[in-house]
Amino acid sequence: MFKKLLIPKQIVTVNSKNDILTGHAVEIENGVIKKIAPVKDFENYDGEILRYPDYTLIPGFIQTHIHLCQTLFRGFADDLELLDWLQKRIFPFENSHTKNSLRASVKLGLNDLISGGTTTILDMGTLRNQEIIFEELTASGMRAFAGNCMMDQNELYPSFRESTEWNLKSTYEWAKAFHDSNNGKIKFGFAPRFVLSCSEKLLRDTKAMMKDFPDSVFHTHSSENKLEVETVRRMTGKENVEYFDSIGILDSHTVLAHCIHLNDTEVKTLKKKSARISHCPSSNMKLGSGVADIPKYLKDGISVSLGADGAPCNNGLSAFNEMRLAALIQKPVHGPTAMDSLTVFRLATIEGAKALHIEKAVGSIEIDKKADLVLLDLERADQPLQLDNSSVPTDENQIYSSIVYSASKENVKSVLLDGNFVVNEGNNLLYDEKKILADAKKEFTQLLKTINN
Ligand SMILES: [Zn+2]
């Protein structure tokens, strides 16, 4: 039977009114939310009934900047500035990936993301063997935009690049093979790495290629680090966003990770072109990159969503960490009222969906949306008290504070992708964690041996 009824303590819908429903049930049929109504409306229900009197139901998190290929390197690239981090660690590591090590990395990353309640990602793949990433995305059931990380120039680490023609040809082939695959759950995210690793021809031709793949996105890094910005200025005579605009890259299907060092003209350009910003606060702090002026971007009406970036610059992949830091990182600069918990929770859910143009399918708990859902147990002695609103007046928005400031993946009890449990009462139904950990260790050991030889 493909029919079930979830009866949680409360439902954080993230709909346009931010309704929080108690005494309600969510009916799921064939992976889609069919009905949300008071429990009494489901008398004599003929499907499976699942009762969670202590749990809070939320939409799955959407992270719009991830590098699954880097999960293997977590903890092996610390305390470095961006360009050194790339040159000394990440480029040699990624360049040495075999199909097996890439697969081990992707599994480790997907396991971490899904068990932490993330159900949709925008992933920047790696230069070679991108089909492995698509195979593992498909096997996991994760909703994803993904694409190979394109690089046709690399002054920092010259062996980690391929020709312009190779990049364009292989990208087109991977897009043809995987765009709109796995019942439409996987879409292509064209991913030239950043200005410093891409020729103008590569960027322009990639953008042009997108017309053959409707609903795909263009995903790159921009304005992350001062030295990067200076180098881009030296190479192109322009700021990142100014350069992207001059070659026709920017529109509502463009997602730029970071956007920390922007001038006023660039901010205006992003707004005018409706380009999206993926904010990665953990990464920005750990790499000492700076603080993106997210309150200003939001005030200006620019689309902002959240991403953990790669595991080696975080060092986790948890949406909870990104939400907490997205709030905290702004407060010393803008004061304590900046980035309230409701605003931040929306960035991690519905705003991520809007960034990718999939807000009709996911990002909130509403009828006809996909049942990508997470059950949280917030009844913990070390976290905010969950009081009964009916017996004492409390701030309804307290739930967002509990989730954003205090919760972590430890609160995640169950995760559903398209209405199917992939984590159930803390049991991981997708991966054998001992096995993927052992495989990852073996593969990374081999990779390090290759680099050292
Ligand atoms: Zn990144």
pLDDT in tens, 321-351: 999 999 999 999 999 999 999 999 999 999 9
| Residue 397 banded pLDDT, cuts 50, 70, 90 | confident
Residue 176 lies in a domain: yes
Q: Which range marks the domain in which residue 310 is found? A: 61-355
Q: Are 370 and 3 in contact (CB under 8 A)?
A: no
Q: How far is the CA of 293 from the centre of ligand 1 (A)?
A: 18
Output the pLDDT for position 126.
97
Q: How far is the CA of 57 from the centre of ligand 1 (A)?
A: 30
| Residue 253 banded pLDDT, cuts 50, 70, 90 | very high
Mean pLDDT, residues 15-35 taken together: 97
Q: How far is the CA of 273 from the centre of ligand 1 (A)?
A: 22
Structure letter (DSSP) for residue 275: -
Q: How far is the CA of 94 from the centre of ligand 1 (A)?
A: 13
Residue 434 lies in a domain: no
Looking at the structure, do residues 67 and 12 belong to the same domain, yes or no?
no
Looking at the structure, do residues 274 and 387 belong to the same domain, yes or no?
no
Query: pLDDT tens, 51-90?
Result: 999 999 999 999 999 999 999 999 999 999 889 999 999 9
Q: How far is the CA of 165 from the centre of ligand 1 (A)?
A: 24
Q: How far is the CA of 196 from the centre of ligand 1 (A)?
A: 14
The whole-angstrom separation of Cα 369 and Cα 358 is 10
pLDDT at 392 over 90: no
- Which is it for strands 3-12 and 118-124: parallel, antiparallel or unpaired? unpaired
Residue 450 lies in a domain: no
The whole-angstrom separation of Cα 92 and Cα 101 is 14
Preceding peptide of 397 cis, ω within 30°: no
Mean pLDDT, residues 424-444 taken together: 98
**Element housing 205 (H / E):** helix 200-209
Q: How far is the CA of 450 from the centre of ligand 1 (A)?
A: 24
Looking at the structure, do residues 321 and 404 belong to the same domain, yes or no?
no
Looking at the structure, do residues 147 and 205 belong to the same domain, yes or no?
yes
Q: How far is the CA of 127 from the centre of ligand 1 (A)?
A: 14
Q: How far is the CA of 219 from the centre of ligand 1 (A)?
A: 10
Looking at the structure, do residues 398 and 344 belong to the same domain, yes or no?
no
Output the pLDDT for position 81.
87
Q: Are 332 and 295 in contact (CB under 8 A)?
A: no
Q: Exposed/middle/buried for 192, CB within 10 Å: 0-12, 13-18, 19+?
A: buried
The number of folded domains in the chain is 2
Looking at the structure, do residues 343 and 410 belong to the same domain, yes or no?
no
| Residue 367 banded pLDDT, cuts 50, 70, 90 | very high
**Element housing 373 (H / E):** strand 373-377
Residue 437 lies in a domain: no
Looking at the structure, do residues 113 and 262 belong to the same domain, yes or no?
yes
Domain stop point among 355, 383, 405: 355
Domain stop point among 355, 381, 398: 355
Looking at the structure, do residues 36 and 130 belong to the same domain, yes or no?
no
Using N-to-C axis directions, what is the helix angle for 433-452 and 99-115, rounded to 10°? 140
Cβ of 126: how many Cβ atoms within 10 Å? 26
Looking at the structure, do residues 163 and 188 belong to the same domain, yes or no?
yes
Output the pLDDT for position 2.
81
Percent of the chain with pLDDT over 70: 100
Angle CA 343–346–348, to nearest 5: 115
**What is the CATH classification number for the domain harbouring 418?**
2.30.40.10
Q: From 54, 81, 106, select the one nearest 310 (Cα to Cα).
A: 106
Q: Are 157 and 92 in contact (CB under 8 A)?
A: yes
Residue 192 lies in a domain: yes
Looking at the structure, do residues 67 and 46 belong to the same domain, yes or no?
no
Looking at the structure, do residues 349 and 391 belong to the same domain, yes or no?
no
The whole-angstrom separation of Cα 62 and Cα 344 is 12
Q: How far is the CA of 175 from the centre of ligand 1 (A)?
A: 21
Mean pLDDT, residues 298-323 taken together: 97
Residue 445 lies in a domain: no
| Residue 1 banded pLDDT, cuts 50, 70, 90 | low
Q: 3-state class of 67 per DSSP?
A: strand
Q: From 184, 103, 97, 90, select the one nearest 145 (Cα to Cα).
A: 184
Residue 444 lies in a domain: no
Residue 197 lies in a domain: yes
Looking at the structure, do residues 297 and 405 belong to the same domain, yes or no?
no
The whole-angstrom separation of Cα 139 and Cα 144 is 12
| Residue 391 banded pLDDT, cuts 50, 70, 90 | confident
**What is the CATH classification number for the domain harbouring 160?**
3.20.20.140
Mean pLDDT, residues 341-362 taken together: 98
Q: State the chain's maximal CA–CA distance in angstroms.
A: 70
Domain stop point among 355, 384, 399: 355
| Residue 388 banded pLDDT, cuts 50, 70, 90 | confident
Q: From 348, 424, 345, select the one nearest 6 (Cα to Cα).
A: 424
Q: Are 189 and 217 in contact (CB under 8 A)?
A: yes
